[in-house]
Each structure stands twice: as C-alpha cells, then as structure tokens.
Amino acid sequence: MNTGIDAGLVASHNDKLQHHLQNDYQHLGEQLARRHIDIDRVRAQVAAFGVAIPSWGVGTGGTRFARFPGPGEPRHVFDKLEDCGVIHQLARATPTVSLHIPWDKCSDWRELRGAATALGLSFDAMNSNTFSDQKDQAHSYKFGSLTHTDAGTRAQAVAHNLECIEIGRQLGSTALTVWVGDGSNFPGQQHFRRAFDRYLDSTRQIYAALPADWRMFLEHKINEPAFYSTVIQDWGSSYLAATALGPQAQCLVDLGHHAPNVNIEMIVARLVAAGKLAGFHFNDSKYGDDDLDAGSVSPYRLFLVFNELVAAAHEQVPGFDPAYMLDQSHNVTDPIESLMTSAVQVQRSYAQALLVDRDALDAAQEANDAMTATHLLKAAFQTDVTPLLQQVRRDAGGAIDPVAVYRASGYRRQAAEARPAVAGGGGGIV
Ligand code: PSV
Ligand code: MN
C-alpha cells in the first residue's frame, strides 16, 4: 500500500516558503486587527472545518461524448482511499470520504475501515445508486427506481438503499444520501402526483430502517438524466418529502442542480430557517450540472452561500449542523490537484465569510442602507486570506503549497506504475 507523500519533501518545501508565510500572515493579522478581527480566532475556526471527498471524484470523469482516462487511476476503493489520503495529507481540509455503492463495493468492510483509519480518514455520507443498472440485477431502472410504476422495481431500489445503510453502519458513517434520476422525458409520460407519492412510499421504508443517530439526505436536481421533469426537481419537492418523512430527513443542496441564475444562497437560508438543511455537494457550473471545481467560475456565489452558513452559526440557529461534501467531475485535470484546490477554495469561502462584520451588517439591513450592506460583504470577500489558509495547513502538518508538493512528489507517476489501466475501471462520472 502506498503510504502517501514523503514527509521530508513536505517539510523541505514548507521550509522554503516559511519566511514569506510568516511575513504575509503577520501583515494580514495587522489588517484584520484594524477591522477588530482576531486572526487567530479565525485560524482556529478554519482549522476545525472539513469537507468530504467524493470517492468517485478521484477517478477521471467524462462527458456524454467521451472519457479520457488519466494515468494511475484508482482501480478500486482501496486505491481511491490512498488518493484521498494524499489529498488530506497535503491540504488538511478533507478528513472524510463519501462512498458510492455499488461503485465502491469490496469484500471486507472491516479491512476498508482499517485502511481509512491508517490514513487518518473516516467516512461521511453513503450514496446509493439507483440511477444505473448493475450486473445481474432483476429489474431495470430505465423508467425509474424508487418511483417506478412497477412495485418489484421499487422494492429492489429500496433494498439497495437498506444495503447502503448496512454497509455505512459497518464503516462508521451516519448518513445516507439519496439521489434518484427518476423523472420523464416527455410531457404526459409520467403522472406527477402519483410519482411523488411512490417516492414517499419508498423513502418511508428506507427512513424506517435508519439507525437512530443517522440522517437521510434528500438530493434534488432540476434535470438530467430525465430532461422534461424530475420527481425531486427542486428544494420545494425535497422539503415536502423531508417533512413528510420526519426529523431525520433533510435536504441536500448540490450547487449544480438548479436552473441558471437561481439564488442558491437564499434557498440555503430558507432550509436553515426550516431546520431542514442537510448539507452540500460543492462544485461549480456555468450552464448546468457541469461538476466543475468549487469556486472556479463563481467564487462570489460560493462566498454568499457561506455567508448564510456563518450567519446561521453566529445566530445559533437550533439544530444547524450541515454536512460538507465535494461532488465534482474532473475531465481535464489531475483529480487529486482539483480536489485539493476545491477543498482549499471551500475553506477560503468559509474564512472570508467569517470576516463579515455581522453587527454592522445587521445595522445596515435595519437602516435599509443597501450600499453599506453590500460593501460589507465585498470587504470580506475581497480580503486575501491565503496566508491564513497556508498557516492552518502548516499548523496541521500539511503543505503550504499542496499542488507544488504533489507535483514534485511524483505520486501520479508511481501510481501509474502500480496501477495498470483496467478496462472499465477508474470510476468518475460519465
Ligand atoms: C447527481 O448528478 C449527483 O450529483 C448525485 O450526487 C450523484 O450521486 C453524484 O452526482 C454522482 O454521480
Ligand atoms: Mn451531487
């Protein structure tokens, strides 16, 4: 088993950058102090923040047209964990991994849990897959899964989710994310109300099997693979379903699952207020569910989402406890580099949101002073928190510049030697 990046290499890179970091951190600290912000307090908050890696993200993704496999792609879940270990070793922001079943099936879950522990990782939400057919499965999901018109197909999809819970229990996970591709491609193809009723009926059976300390995350998506309608198309449907199921069910917001220009941060605020925000799948997009790296296109939007989250924590909204996960597809980059960069970007948005002057913002809102309010947000967003993030990584034993160390390590080349390409392997989303 690959044990990650040589600690000596990390240390020598850090040593070269340490002097600049010290100066930059001190300068930022002085700037923040002028704004009555204690940099070390922010540093501690950012250090406590983590975002989960999607196991499928370490494989090369693809589009509807083609997939271009990269060298050294993980062949199975143990390889995926190794890659996740490297990401966490260098960037120190991703202590958990979110698995997708059956993509990540293995013959010994205890062994997998042990391998994760050895890498300093644990398991976040389990993801079920009833959007593609598996080998030897009795019923096809071509026309739906949990909402299929056929009871046998629905039962099969329910049973798969129960299996995911059981696997997750063995791995120490405490959440199940359910996303279905169910919907329709033609007006008239599906009876909207009956399909939603069938969804409720199936998800109730899954909900009934949840251990007491688990949560069920319902993930909505406006379209794809169903291009006319989806059964759980938006946060409204998701909220109705989560409310019908009970307190352990909440709504997961994948940033790519909305119509262009939808105000996602406001959806987040609504779900927070309703006590129904499960958490996030972070990614970025320009047109649809593009699964681009978090904050690569619209970093301000990501910041505005975090602004709502920090406000909720600041105001101590009861039960506020979102789960943070990435959900991306990497088609032209090394997945490890993309995931480290996204994790740092998510951390950056969080740090910036912590810099918003909440009292001043409250006052500006009360006074209907739109210009001051928006300047307060911009002042936080435009603060370069890079030295703070570097310091947090350094404190935790990570790399000041994770991508540079990763490139210098030759990890990908070694992985390519150790992992000969396998037909159909590699994971990722096609
Ligand atoms: C669907 O587009 C989705 O966002 C869901 O989270 C899936 O489980 C994931 O992508 C992986 O394909
Ligand atoms: Mn998702």
Nearest-ligand number for the alpha carbon of 329? 1
What does the block give as tokens for 199? 């969804």
pLDDT band at 2 (very low <50, low <70, confident <90, very high): low
| Cβ of 254 less than 6 Å from ligand 1 | yes
- 105 Cα to the center of ligand 1, angstroms: 17
- With respect to residue 11, please indicate whether it lies within any of the assigned structural domains: no
- 334 Cα to the center of ligand 1, angstroms: 20
pLDDT band at 430 (very low <50, low <70, confident <90, very high): very low
| Cβ of 56 less than 6 Å from ligand 1 | yes
| Cβ of 390 less than 6 Å from ligand 1 | no
- 3 Cα to the center of ligand 2, angstroms: 29
In ligand 1, the atom with minimum distance to the C-alpha of 219 is 6
What's the mean pLDDT in 332-361? 98
| Cβ of 289 less than 6 Å from ligand 1 | yes
| Cβ of 127 less than 6 Å from ligand 1 | yes
pLDDT tens digits, residue range 347-390?
999 999 999 999 999 999 999 999 999 999 999 999 999 999 99
- Which amino acid does the sequence have at 231? V
| Cβ of 265 less than 6 Å from ligand 1 | no
- With respect to residue 426, please indicate whether it lies within any of the assigned structural domains: no
Please give the tally of structural domains in the chain: 1
| 162 Cβ neighbours under 8 A, 6+ residues apart | 205, 206, 209
Question: What are the residues facing 175 on neighbouring strands?
Answer: 215
pLDDT tens digits, residue range 141-193?
999 999 999 999 999 999 999 999 999 999 999 999 999 999 999 999 999 99
| Cβ of 281 less than 6 Å from ligand 1 | yes
Q: Which pLDDT score, from 0 to 100, does residue 45 have? A: 98
Rounded Cα distance, 344 and 341, in Å: 5
- With respect to residue 198, please indicate whether it lies within any of the assigned structural domains: yes
- 48 Cα to the center of ligand 2, angstroms: 24
In ligand 1, the atom with minimum distance to the C-alpha of 100 is 8
Q: Which pLDDT score, from 0 to 100, does residue 425 have? A: 52
CATH number of the CATH domain containing 410: 3.20.20.150
Q: Which pLDDT score, from 0 to 100, does residue 54 have? A: 98
Q: What domain range is 178 assigned to?
A: 21-418
More confident residue, 125 or 425: 125
- With respect to residue 424, please indicate whether it lies within any of the assigned structural domains: no
- 164 Cα to the center of ligand 1, angstroms: 15
- 23 Cα to the center of ligand 1, angstroms: 42
- Catalogue the long-range contacts made by 45-48 (C-beta closer than 8 Å, 24 or more residues apart): 45/350, 45/351, 45/354, 46/347, 46/350, 46/351, 46/354, 46/388, 46/389, 46/392, 47/392, 47/395, 47/396
In ligand 1, the atom with minimum distance to the C-alpha of 56 is 11
Q: Locate tokens 């271009």: which residue?
A: 68
Rounded Cα distance, 336 and 326, in Å: 13
Spatial contact of 86 and 59, defined as CB atoms under 8 Å apart: no
| Cβ of 103 less than 6 Å from ligand 1 | no
- With respect to residue 115, please indicate whether it lies within any of the assigned structural domains: yes
What's the mean pLDDT in 1-28? 94
- With respect to residue 49, please indicate whether it lies within any of the assigned structural domains: yes
In ligand 1, the atom with minimum distance to the C-alpha of 256 is 4
| Cβ of 283 less than 6 Å from ligand 1 | no
> H helices within 315-369, ranges in order?
335-354, 358-366
pLDDT tens digits, residue range 81-137?
999 999 999 999 999 999 999 999 999 999 999 999 999 999 999 999 999 999 999
CB atoms within 10 A of CB 266: 13
What does the block give as tokens for 340? 């480290």
pTM, 2 dp: 0.97
Nearest-ligand number for the alpha carbon of 181? 1
Rounded Cα distance, 393 and 50, in Å: 12
